[in-house]
Amino acid sequence: MTPEPPPAQYGTVLPMRGGSAPIENAPPNDLEAEQAVVGAMMLAPDVIAEVSAVMAPADHYRPAHETIHQSILDLHGQGKAVDPITLGHHLDQTGVLTKVGGKSYLHTLVQAVPTAANAAYYAEIVRGKAQRRRSIEAGTRIVQAGMTPDTTDEDLREALALGAATVPGTWSDPIPLSHRPKLPGFPTHVFPDWLAQYVAAVAEETQTPPDLAGTLALSVLAAAAGGRSVVQVRGRWREPTNLFAVVALGPANRKSAVFSAMTGPLYEAEKLLVTQAAGRIVEAELTVKMAQEAADKAAAKAASADGPEKDGLVAEAIGLAQAAESLTVPPRPRLLADDATPEVIATLLAEQGGRLAVMSAEGGIFDIIAGRYSGTANMEVFLKGHAGDRLRVDRRSREEYVDAPALTMGLAVQPAVLEDIGKNRGFDGRGLLARFLYALPESLVGYRKISPDPVPAPVATRYEHNVTALTLSLADWTDPAVLQLTTDADGALKVFEHRIEPQLRAKGGRLGHVGKWAGKLIGVTARIAGLLHLAEHLDGAYGKPIGEATMTAAIELADYFTDHALTVFDLMGADAAQARARTLLEALAANGWESVSRRDLFAKLSRSEFPTVADLEPAVALLEEHGYLRIDTPPRTGKRGRPPAPRYRIHPQVREGQV
């Protein structure tokens, strides 16, 4: 190899920027590899990208080589030639030509290249030496920091951080992107004893995961209390106590049996309400009939009259007709609906004073919403029914308004149903999917007991009695019961808000890609707290505020549903970051990089999927989280100028095409 450049100004520069060791004791470096790298970049500019994917200019031990390397990148980035003549002119204009050894040294570097085809290999040697030097430097700093009496804690932390950043670690097997994390089990213990015992007993008898009975239990409470109670969160913020919930389990999981066991008391309560209303309905029907007959007779009499008495008879007929028109017959009480059309559900909501629950062990309701019968998607009643926004119902004879509709939905479907509805852009675009609580429990099929314990009779009786009592106690409320929060409960909810808010960020937030859903999480948590409060205090719950323990239980349920929602939305294809991460992984495998800069990686990607460099960040973060790459930010070599750009070190299995 050729000798080092003449000792011009750089001849007095110490390699380690301040060290004084003789050359035989110099830190790890390879002069020949450094010369081959910069020489190859001048000789064959097409290797510049390969070298840049492996090392940065700061990896050189000799400052002259770092300066030359950086200048080559600057010229190449401007689309200019990087041969010795052009590069020499550029270095002369910037005033550093003599510092790097002059034009003769540039030509010497080109002549010293064994073969430009091995440029990336030479670069790996240089980078490896640089990593060793940084490790030595980091270790020295740690020792010096520990030995210096006036070292502050901040100085020591900085030295330790540098050591952690510079010492390369070993690679573990990456986690597949399609890997579904183990989801938490349903926290049955958050329920009051009578409900927790029944949920656990039904799960045991049917040999199904408690998630199924537990999620349906929340839907049952919402069906009993929805439209009849609201949670006063703070200020003008009120949350109704209706919910949308869906459990996804595959076939042969006895969903219908669990569904029947959980919703049975609601049907019994509905029968009791019908029985109680029967007398009022008959009386009202007779009153309306008699009033109409009287109005008809008065109209006929007025029509046949003549002379001065006609005006009086007409006025009397009009009065009787108006009185008959003002009379109404109470509708037959309904708590539940199944596969009804949106139009029928809207009518039932109007008739039932705004309260209704759609409960089904199948997913057919989604097909109906999508327009199975009408050919046009109609989700207005579901959107407004969840939020409590005013709903207008058009009838042939008149229009009706539901000031605060409270629609509850409790569904048990197969996972394939969720995949299908995820493909319906209208569901997501209008926000319907964001209104559901999702549970995706693990099936017990193949691991079930053959002779499980049945539900104890006292446990079943207590559940049926309490659900029926709660439903009937709120049935006659016209203005909803307002449930207040204690100061401690409000404080617990605020702490939860502070924890969730940063996770909603579109870039880097854990819940950023499901922002529509997660943005409703705090409100839904308040709703759950209200339902748990009603279940805990069956007698006069509206006279007691919601306590901190109840709010804490609601937050635990919210965390459960959050973990499950993330997996469900991934199943529905809502995670754009994961789709981009797969594209990114394919690009990394195709190019076989050991490391690559963000700029060079971005250059290999489609602008339609990655419009800006910033769009890389969520996908890169996901690959890093799964162990496919590591972000390596070289330490600063000085206090001035822009900090070194991060590089991505790629897992060997990716480079070798094993993923």
Q: Over the stretch 148-204, which tens digit does the pLDDT of each residue have?
A: 776 666 666 665 555 555 555 556 677 777 656 678 999 999 999 999 999 999 999
Q: Which two tokens stand for residue 1?
A: 């190899």
3-class DSSP state for residue 432? coil
Distance CA 628, CA 585 (A): 8
Is the model's pLDDT at 366 over the cut of 80?
no
What's the gap between Cα 42 and its chain centre?
49
Report the alpha-carbon distance of residue 434 to residue 436 in Å, rounded.
6
Q: In which band, very low, low, confident or very high, does the pLDDT at 373 lie, cut at 50, 70 and 90? A: low
Torsion of CA 6, 9, 15, 16, to 10 degrees: 180
Between CA 354 and CA 347 the distance in angstroms is 10
Strands (E), 305-405: 336-337, 355-360, 391-394, 399-402
Which amino acid, 94? T
Least confident span in 78-82, 169-173, 303-307, 611-615: 169-173
Q: In what order do the strands lie in the sheet with 436-439?
A: 336-337, 355-360, 406-413, 244-248, 436-439
Half-sphere exposure (CA, 13 Å, Cβ side) for 15? 21
pLDDT attached to residue 3: 47
- The pLDDT value recorded for residue 16 is 36
How many CB atoms neighbour CB 487 within 10 A? 9
Q: Say whether pLDDT at 23 is over 50.
A: no
Instruction: Identify whether the C-beta of residue 412 lies closer than 8 Å to the C-beta of residue 255.
Output: yes
Rounded distance between C-alpha atoms, residue 209 and residue 443, angstroms: 7
pLDDT at residue 396 in the model: 52
Between β-strands 244-248 and 406-413, what pairing exists: parallel, antiparallel or unpaired?
parallel
What is residue 6's predicted lDDT score, i.e. its pLDDT? 44
* Confidence bin at 12 (pLDDT 50/70/90): very low
Q: Read off the pLDDT of each residue in 114-130 and give the average, rounded to a whole number.
A: 85
Closest CA to 97 of 228, 8, 192: 8
Q: How confident is the model at residue 18 (pLDDT cuts 50, 70, 90)?
A: very low
Of 8-17, 180-189, 320-329, 488-497, give the range with the top mean pLDDT.
488-497
Distance of CA 76 to the CA centre of its chain: 42
pLDDT at 139 (0 to 100): 74
Work out the angle between the directed axes of helices 210-225 and 193-206 (0-180°, nearest 10): 140
Q: Is the pLDDT of residue 658 over 70?
A: no
What are the E-state strand segments in 575-658? Answer: 595-597, 629-632, 647-650
Amino acid in the structure at residue 277? A
Q: What is the mean pLDDT of the chain?
A: 83
pLDDT (tens digit per residue) in 579-629: 778 888 888 888 888 888 888 888 888 887 788 877 788 788 778 877 888
Nearest residue to 230 (alpha-carbon basis) of 406, 483, 435: 483
Entry pTM: 0.63
**Helix, strand, or coil (residue 358):** strand
Q: How much is the pLDDT for 423?
A: 64
**Bridge partners for 630 per DSSP:** 649
In the predicted model, what is the mean pLDDT of residues 530-542?
92
Tell me: pLDDT of 372 over 70: no
Assess contact for 186 and 210: CB atoms under 8 A: yes
| Overall size of the chain counted in residues | 659
Residue 55 structure tokens: 């090392």
According to DSSP, the residues that pair with 570 across neighbouring strands are none
Return the SS3 of 244.
strand
Quick check: 244 pLDDT over 50? yes
Our CA dihedral for 459, 461, 463, 466, rounded to 10 degrees, sits at -140
Residue pair 475/228 in contact (Cβ under 8 Å)? The answer is yes
Say yes or no to pLDDT of 533 above 50.
yes
Q: pLDDT (tens digit, 9 = 90+) per residue, 619-657? A: 887 788 778 888 776 655 555 556 566 788 888 888 777
Angle, vertex CA 648, rays to CA 643 and CA 651, nearest 5: 155
Q: 168-172, 349-353, 485-489: which range is least confident on average?
A: 168-172
**What's residue 280's pLDDT?**
87
CB 579 within 8 A of CB 517: no
DSSP letter assigned to residue 227: T
Q: Over 80: is that where the pLDDT of 365 sits?
A: no
**H or E element at residue 121:** helix 119-147
Place of tokens 């971005």: 602
Confidence at residue 10, expressed as pLDDT on a 0 to 100 scale: 39
Question: For position 637, what pLDDT does the model report?
Answer: 53
- Strands 481-483, 391-394: pairing is unpaired
**Residue 218 near residue 264 (C-beta atoms within 8 A):** no
Instruction: Inform me whether the pLDDT recorded for 267 exceeds 90.
Output: yes
Q: Enter the tokens of residue 607.
A: 């602008």
